[in-house]
Amino acid sequence: MTILSVENLCKNYGRVQALKGVSFSVPKGTVFGILGPNGSGKTTMLGIIMDILKPTSGSYKLFDADPDETFRRKIGTFLETPNFYHYLSAQKNLEIAAAIKERGADDIPRVLELVNLTQRKDSRFSTYSLGMKQRLSIASCLLGDPEVLILDEPTNGLDPVGIAEIRQLIKQLHQQGKTIIMASHLLDEVEKVCTHVAILKKGGLVATGDVNEILATEDIVEVGATDVKQLASIIGNMQGYNSIRENDKMLQLFYPVGTANIESINKYCFSNGVVLNHLQLKKKSLEAKFFELTN
């Protein structure tokens, strides 16, 4: 079953195109990361899916059906900022959320314990720190143990321990078979918890699919010699790398992950009459891959 399918979704704010015909689908049981820099359209897209923004064109389906409010009740969603009644306690705010969702009222103690807010459950929301507000939002999402969660930047405002806890929680939920759709601008976060990813850039979809395929990194081997032109000519006949980049002092050879063998490169060059004065294996960073995809 497809949890969410988005079909050619467009959203314009005046002349600004916030979404430009985005299409993708989220299979059941995945941790689906929506990745993109600030302003790439992640929250706009989730806002449309949650019916708080109206699309200019395009459509989407939830649970393979045309969406209405009853489907939203089955999803635990945290979008952008923690939204609660400031004058009410965490307990009362969760009671309201449970009443709207029509489930989870008896689940409030469990979710408060999960996010370490049991001791402050009777404090007014306005007295909470940003991190506590964020954790209360996560607790609200978990009410009634939903099969699907949509989390928009869930670790914003959390301290390092809180971030690690949320990541651990997401992994646990995934192991329980839940589907999690998570928007983030943090590559590290997506790499650590997501199984699938869609990358957005300026409102357009750059890539979507299995996270290991889309964000697969490459091995980079840097080679240098006194005569770089001669080095380039012999390297040109060498096999095994995907691409080559030349600069004034050295060459960069791009290999599929785990296939670069610097010993054999050294041997090949020496046997072809070139003595290397620089040979180094570098892992291409995820960040560099992300920049490559989004720039």
Partner 1 sequence: MIKLLKVEWMKIRGYNAFIVISAFFALGVFASNYLAYSFKKNVIDPADPTGLISAGSPFGFPNVWQTVSYYSGLMLLLPGLLLLILVTNEFTYRTHRQNIIDGISRNQFTQVKLLMGVIIALVSTLLVFIAALLFGFFVNTGSFSLTGIGNVWFFFLKALTYNFIAILIGVLVRRTGFAIAVFFIYTALENGISILLLVWAINIKKDHNIDLGNMGNYLPMNASDGLLYSPFDSFTNMANKFLPADYTWLVFSLAIIYLALFYFWSQRRMLKSDL
Q: Which residues lie near partner 1 (CB under 8 A)?
A: 47, 50-54, 68-70, 72-73, 77, 79, 81, 83-88, 92, 95-97, 99-102, 140
Closer Cβ to partner 1, 79 or 187, answer by number: 79
Length of the chain: 295
Residue whose entry in the numeric block shows the structure tokens 């969702």: 101
CB of 56 vs partner 1, minimal distance in Å: 11
Please state the closest distance from residue 210 (CB atom) to partner 1, in A.
Answer: 29
Pick 47 or 154: Cβ nearer partner 1 = 47
33 versus 47: smaller Cβ distance to partner 1: 47
Nearer residue to partner 1 within complex by CB, 52 or 161: 52
Contact between 32 and 181 under an 8 Å Cβ cutoff? The reply is yes
135 vs 211, beta carbon nearer partner 1: 135
Residue 86 vs 249, nearer CB to partner 1: 86
Shortest reach from residue 130's CB to partner 1, in Å: 15
In whole angstroms, the minimum distance from the beta carbon of 14 to partner 1 comes to 12
Cβ(90)–Cβ(121) below 8 Å: yes
> How many angstroms separate the CA atoms of 239 and 236, rounded?
8
CA distances from 236 to 40, 87, 283 (A): 39, 70, 22
CB of residue 50 to partner 1, shortest distance in Å: 5
Q: How far is the CB of 206 from partner 1 (least distance, A)?
A: 25
